[in-house]
Amino acid sequence: MPRMPLIAGNWKMHGLKDALGFFDELAASGAVSEGREILVCPPATLLAATVQAAHKHGFRIGGQDCHTESAGAHTGDISAEMLRDAGADYVIVGHSERRADHGEADDLVRAKAEAAGRAGLTPIICVGETVADREAGREEDVVGRQLAGSIPAGLAPTGYVIAYEPVWAIGTGRTASTGDIAAMHAFIRSSVPDGEQVRILYGGSVKPENAQEILALHDVDGALVGGASLQAESFAAIAKSA
């Protein structure tokens, strides 16, 4: 089975109700195709409204994070079951901004990925080294450890997605070289069980200008896009490169 390309937008803490026209614009820009899956992860406040606007065109919606439990006394948190109930199909877990801003470590990320699977969502499990790790030549050690710690044992290879996002490339305009991306994606594929079936996305300053060469790499099955996913035109241009 070929791996279906996945182009995922992560809106982070951006987006008000006036963003809902985005999905009509995305469709009008020619992003719809049988050959790829398009996902947007809006802020939680827009989930319900975006599900309607997105599903009309066959786009999918995901959460940006979830709690490990299905319900309970956890003020401000959202469970995987709630995301599913709102119409989400995916949830990002272990994004480097969650790891850095909220001290999320691998065991918590793994529990969140487990919660996603329990709720019927596909987790997008993020890994990636810092610039210090890369300069010290320990990027494979770091990513290998994150993979071992963050992926639940029971998940089928098609039941989750990995996003490789070098921390130093996120929101900085700096992308990893295609050689470095190819090497890391091959390493990731060889590190996980049944890796041939696992979709591995690249993330970190993906934009229309570099999407084509990154998405053409053999072990790159799509992209996780931050800044360039906020405008329908640039996100559509990236999607069309897949």
CB of 121 to ligand PGA, least distance (A): 18
Contact range with ligand PGA by CB under 6 A, out of 33-41, 104-112, 224-232, 234-242: 224-232
Q: Does position 241 bind ligand PGA by CB under 6 A?
A: no
Residue with tokens 């947007």: 40
Q: Does position 63 bind ligand PGA by CB under 6 A?
A: no
Q: Does position 203 bind ligand PGA by CB under 6 A?
A: yes
Contact range with ligand PGA by CB under 6 A, out of 128-136, 139-147, 185-193, 199-207: 199-207
Neighbour count for residue 71 (Cβ, 10 Å): 10
Kindly determine how many residues on this chain lie close enough to bind ligand PGA according to the rule CB under 6 A.
13
CB of 187 to ligand PGA, least distance (A): 20
> Which of residues 83, 204, 220, 232 is near ligand PGA by CB under 6 A?
204
Residue 65 tokens read as: 């994070």
Fill in the amino acid letter for 214. Answer: I
Phi, psi torsion values for 137, nearest 5 degrees: 75, 20
Query: Which entry of 97, 114, 129, 165 is annotated as an active-site residue?
Result: 165
Q: Does position 65 bind ligand PGA by CB under 6 A?
A: no
Write down the H helix ranges in the chain.
Answer: 22-28, 47-55, 80-86, 96-101, 106-119, 131-135, 139-150, 178-191, 208-215, 232-240
Contact range with ligand PGA by CB under 6 A, out of 13-21, 41-49, 80-88, 197-205: 197-205
Phi, psi torsion values for 200, nearest 5 degrees: -120, 115
Q: Does position 225 bind ligand PGA by CB under 6 A?
A: yes
Q: Does position 239 bind ligand PGA by CB under 6 A?
A: no
Q: Cα dist. 180→1, 10, 43, 89, 140 in Å?
A: 26, 23, 31, 30, 11
CA dihedral 139, 145, 151, 154 (to 10 degrees): 140
What part of residues 131-170 is at the interface with ligand PGA (CB under 6 A)?
Answer: 165, 170
Task: Estimate to the nearest angstrom the gap between the alpha carbon of 149 and the chain centroid.
Answer: 18
Q: Is 95 a catalytic residue?
A: yes
Q: Is 185 a catalytic residue?
A: no
Residues forming the active site: 95, 165
Residues that bind ligand PGA (CB under 6 A): 10, 165, 170-171, 203-206, 224-228
